[in-house]
Amino acid sequence: MPDIGGKASKYMKEKIKYTDEPIGKVRVITDFLPSPEHLALKDETVKVTLSLSKTSVDFFKKEAKKYNTQYQRMIRRLLDEYTANQ
């Protein structure tokens, strides 16, 4: 059985040869990414006690497992989307 990534490592060791050739027409684009400060902020949350049906909780737990996330987060996002569109 061949090594996985064997060919890639050969190419990763080759040196990049830079030249002084012109790079052609350059276009500056506006910054569209959020700032690191914005990405680091957490939404303000409030703890509540809520009784849900076992069927609903089982559904969200199963879906959360598929997408490797927390089921509470999925429920919170569902409620956030609902309220944002009302």
**pLDDT, tens only, 36-71:** 777 676 778 899 999 999 999 999 999 999 999 999
Tell whether 68 is covered by a domain. Answer: yes
Domain membership of residue 53 as a residue range? 42-86
Residues 60, 71 contacting (CB under 8 angstroms): yes
Judged against a pLDDT cut of 80, whether residue 80 lies above it is answered with yes
Encode 27-41: b = buried (16+ Cβ within 10 Å), e = exposed.
Answer: eeeeeeeeeeeeeee
Residue 12 to residue 9: CA distance in whole angstroms: 5
Tell whether 66 is covered by a domain. Answer: yes
pTM of the model: 0.52
| CA triple 28-34-37, angle to 5 deg | 130
Provide the number of structural domains found in the chain: 1
